[in-house]
Structure 1
Amino acid sequence: MKRRTRKRNMWTSLLLGVVALVFVAFAGLLIASGIFATPRYLEPWSRDYHRQFDDPRIRLAAHGLLAANGHNMQAWKVRLAPDDPNVFYLFVDSTRLTGEVDPYARQTLVSAGTFLEYVRVAGEKLGYMTAITLFPDGSYDEGRLAESMNVKPVAQVALTGAEPEDDPLYEFLFRPDTNRSPYEDKPLTDGQIDRLRRLTDDSELSLNVFQDQEHKKRLGTYAVEGAVTEAAVHRISLESAALFRANEYEKNKYRYGFSLEGQGLGGLMKHAMQGLMTAIPSINSEKATADLFVKSTRDAVEHTPAYAMIFTKGNTRAHQVKAGMLYSRLVLTAHRMGLAVQPPSQVLEEYAEMKPLYDGIHREYAPESGTIQLFVRIGEPTREARRTMRRDVMDIVENRP
């Protein structure tokens, strides 16, 4: 009897020891993840964040920070006019270009447009009319692009006081722009499609929605093949890896780039994975990342009821910015209708390995020398997206008051 008791006690002690080790290991992962760190990188998502600033130009820029942008680089600079308290200039931050994946900075200029549209919507709510003049000093010298970006603004924004308006899109500024979750197998209604198509009256821009089976299959194939192509390009993998933030400490330090929130992870699962990647960086190897990227694209395509495209008749820098403004209207209007969007945009990237796919989708969908500026999946999401990193607005403001 005593022997049985000793044996039972031994197994109990062993089990408790294993549980204690598992607990300590899990706690270690959570600490490595930074679970107790305050996520300062999420502060700009607060509806009250802009209120701490007296200058209306900075308050509007704080809203612009929340806009969709290529690779979450937030490549924006706001230069306050020193001689007019109601004027600011938006520049591209040439130190934040992603030259491998976006060699002509087309996506970066689209991202300038998304920022401007968020500023416009916020202005109506806060009581300012925003007169936006694109390239007031002329367009860039394409032969010296980065240098030109430093001296020529994308836009001049002039504010005029007005009665605040309850723009129905304002509340959706604070919702993440991209949702990578599966979408419900539910087509858009004719009314929804018509509403999206009417988002622009600019003859140089158009927006179309595709949800018949033939187009869904072809566009889904383009999305997957674009992901497969990009995943195989080593230099692009290196560029993306340098932008990945593995834990809360890195996210608070850099506040831009990629993180697990972008993949929909949150809570303890996010912290456990962050802890693992921090403790064992090889888990996030190039091959593992590429395989996950391709798999997630395939899964997304299988759960996509519709795609949308934004076209421009030309491909000037002004066209690119205007396409970005239209894209923000698309995102905000989709959210208002209970829909979500995600751009599987690899097929529109302009480096050598992607050229066959880029040319192919343009031959099929933009045959009249037009440019597809944006290509997105759209539908009713199955789960909420998570907010991702944003910089402090004062990090992008020059000539501070």
Structure 2
Amino acid sequence: MNLTRRKMIFLVGGGAVVAAGGVFGYAATRRPQTAFLPWERAGGYDDPRMRALSWALLAPNPHNRQPWLADLSEEGVITLHADHDRMLPHTDPFSRQITIGLGCFLELLRMAAAEDGYRTSTALFPQGSSALGLDQRPVARIAFAADPAVERDPLFAHVPLRRSNKEPFDLNRPVVTALLPELGAVVRNGARFGGTVDATEVTDWRALTHEALRIEVETPRTYQESVDLFRIGHIEVDANPDGIDFTGPLFESLRLTGQFTREAASDTTNFAYKSGLDAIFANTDTAMGHVWLVTDDNSRETQIATGADWLRVNLAATAQGLGFQPLSQALQEFPEMAGIYAQVHDRLAPSGGTVQMLSRIGYGPTVGKSPRWPLESRIMNV
């Protein structure tokens, strides 16, 4: 049975209250018990490599896939691999976005090591790489050396508060132009930063990113890739603390009443599907500015460097109290997105190059942490 919007609001606003004290009311308010523990445990390890890794795993990454595996078999060294069970073959067919996520990871690893008094030396793709995708060869070899004089990065202070804000932004609170140079100033790995808060340009970008999102959702295989990663309710999130999490009284109530399941979300005639579209379009349609990174080439090394710069821009936005959410759909490289992809590149890279990242910015509500797998599950030889 489908819920009308009015009934859903009644369920969320009143149903759990009516059932308060009962099993339903208790279950509807449950929160994940273990999925957020890695945020609390960051830095709490004896081995300096583990301390740095415990921070690095908090880095942003596509669909929260957490595609990193660390080999610690060599003393004083981390060898980073990509977890091939965590790729996104339909929306990210060449693993470009996954590689950028690994670049975010490596930059946060470097920051955390420096904060701890260790200098890192990183060799990217020491056995080579493929433009077609990530393979079994290592992504990076990172050597640690104690150095009390290593420079600390002031952006590291904002790591515990960094979020990808997937809520609508405040349409009555503009972002001032003067903030854009402050975000761009932290880029240092070769990407070209750009951004706009001009009302006319933002309106155009809202429409373009809305259309890109529509295409991803209305292309069955790319939409199903996301649905397969839905984690609905606290039990699923604790069991698989990755993917796209849906927790809190609303989603617990819909789960308990059978109104929100992966099967229902896959049914394009279902209320869960239609109301979900309203929610995600509310994000693109309330952007109060947009920022992006463009690179001259699209090598694996450049993608890693882009991830480092993207993390830095995200942390700089956090420092300014800005909401920040990547809108990656327009940059995806599956055939149905080709028209939008070309439009973005015509606008932002008319002389050539690759638009690597695009995000909306604005002021939104405070949002919670993203679930994370325990560090120990990301170590290859434990």
Q: Which stretch shifts more, 390-399 or 159-168?
A: 159-168
Q: Among residues 156, 172, 189, which one is paired with 2:158 in the alignment? A: 172
Structure 1 pair 231–173 and aligned structure 2 pair: CA distance change class (3 A)? same
Aligned partner of 2:257 in structure 1 is 276
The code of the aligned residue for 1:50 comes to G
The 3-state SS of whatever aligns with 2:154 is coil
Structure 1 pair 165–21 and aligned structure 2 pair: CA distance change class (3 A)? closer
Q: Which stretch shifts more, 334-343 or 157-166?
A: 157-166
Deviations 1:117-175 (A, max 9, x none): 111221222221222222222223x46x45xx21x222221212133766432232122
1:380 Cα offset (Å): 2.4
The structure with the largest alpha-carbon Rg is: 1
The 3-state SS of whatever aligns with 1:196 is helix
Preserved contact between residue 76 and residue 91 of structure 1 (Cα < 8 Å):
yes
Aligned partner of 2:220 in structure 1 is 234
Alignment of 1:187-202 (within 5 A): 187-202=174-189
Aligned partner of 1:112 in structure 2 is 102
Q: Which stretch shifts more, 129-138 or 97-106?
A: 129-138
How high is the TM-score relative to the length of structure 1? Answer: 0.83
Preserved contact between residue 26 and residue 272 of structure 1 (Cα < 8 Å):
no
The 3-state SS of whatever aligns with 1:259 is strand
How high is the TM-score relative to the length of structure 2? Answer: 0.87
Whether 1:74 and 2:57 are equivalent positions in the alignment is no
Whether 1:303 and 2:286 are equivalent positions in the alignment is yes
Aligned partner of 1:41 in structure 2 is 35
Aligned partner of 1:387 in structure 2 is 369
Distance in 1 between the 2:90 and 2:168 partners? 29
Structure 1 pair 106–286 and aligned structure 2 pair: CA distance change class (3 A)? farther
Q: Among residues 232, 235, 238, which one is paired with 1:246 in the alignment? A: 232
Aligned partner of 1:372 in structure 2 is 355
1:178 Cα offset (Å): 0.3
Structure 1 pair 285–136 and aligned structure 2 pair: CA distance change class (3 A)? closer
The 3-state SS of whatever aligns with 2:43 is helix
1:67 Cα offset (Å): 0.8
Q: Which stretch shifts more, 37-46 or 352-361?
A: 37-46
The 3-state SS of whatever aligns with 1:363 is helix
Aligned partner of 2:381 in structure 1 is 399
Preserved contact between residue 20 and residue 26 of structure 2 (Cα < 8 Å):
no
The 3-state SS of whatever aligns with 2:224 is helix
Preserved contact between residue 118 and residue 145 of structure 2 (Cα < 8 Å):
yes
1:281 Cα offset (Å): 6.2
1:59 Cα offset (Å): 1.4
Preserved contact between residue 343 and residue 377 of structure 1 (Cα < 8 Å):
yes
The code of the aligned residue for 2:38 comes to P
Aligned partner of 2:116 in structure 1 is 126
Instruction: Name whichever structure is richer in helix by fraction.
Output: 1
1:97 Cα offset (Å): 0.8
Deviation above 6 Å: which 4+ runs of structure 1? 278-281
Aligned partner of 1:93 in structure 2 is 83
Distance in 1 between the 2:259 and 2:59 partners? 29
1:279 Cα offset (Å): 8.0
Structure 1 pair 21–394 and aligned structure 2 pair: CA distance change class (3 A)? closer
Aligned partner of 2:49 in structure 1 is 57
Q: CA RMSD in A?
A: 2.7
Aligned partner of 1:314 in structure 2 is 297
Distance in 1 between the 2:17 and 2:199 partners? 53
Q: Extract unaligned runs of 5+ from structure 2.
A: 1-14
1:356 Cα offset (Å): 0.9
Q: Extract unaligned runs of 5+ from structure 1.
A: 1-18
Preserved contact between residue 129 and residue 162 of structure 1 (Cα < 8 Å):
yes
Q: Among residues 299, 315, 321, which one is paired with 1:332 in the alignment? A: 315
Equivalent pairs: percent with the same residue?
Answer: 26
Structure 1 pair 339–61 and aligned structure 2 pair: CA distance change class (3 A)? same
The 3-state SS of whatever aligns with 1:194 is helix
Q: Among residues 21, 24, 44, which one is paired with 1:28 in the alignment? A: 24
Structure 1 pair 237–132 and aligned structure 2 pair: CA distance change class (3 A)? same
Distance in 1 between the 2:22 and 2:306 partners? 46
Aligned partner of 2:274 in structure 1 is 291
Structure 1 pair 331–280 and aligned structure 2 pair: CA distance change class (3 A)? closer
The code of the aligned residue for 2:183 comes to L
The 3-state SS of whatever aligns with 1:230 is helix
Distance in 1 between the 2:326 and 2:16 partners? 45
Q: Which stretch shifts more, 128-137 or 251-260?
A: 128-137
Structure 1 pair 44–315 and aligned structure 2 pair: CA distance change class (3 A)? same
The 3-state SS of whatever aligns with 2:38 is helix
1:310 Cα offset (Å): 0.7
* Number of equivalences: 364
